[in-house]
């Protein structure tokens, strides 16, 4: 997993574990502080196979 937005990367990982990013308080606080975006609908997520 890699990305330029640490909050979005963590939010994506949370989804992979069958949870919702808004359930993780730390992600909401980081997004509110301007560290990144927890809303993946507003992010440019790409999956690549290596």
Nearest-angstrom CA–CA distance, 31 and 43: 13
- % of the chain with per-residue pLDDT over 70: 100
Task: Please state the rounded mean pLDDT for residues 20-35.
Answer: 94
Instruction: Check whether 18 has a pLDDT greater than 90.
Output: yes
> Cβ contacts of residue 15 below 8 Å, gap of 6+?
21, 40
* CA dist list (Å): 23 to 38, 49, 50: 11, 29, 31
């Amino acid at each position: 997993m890699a990305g330029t937005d640490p909050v979005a990367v963590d939010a994506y990982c949370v989804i992979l574990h069958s949870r919702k990013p808004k359930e993780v308080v730390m992600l909401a606080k980081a997004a509110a502080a301007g560290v990144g975006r927890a809303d993946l609908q507003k992010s440019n997520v790409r999956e690549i196979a290596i």
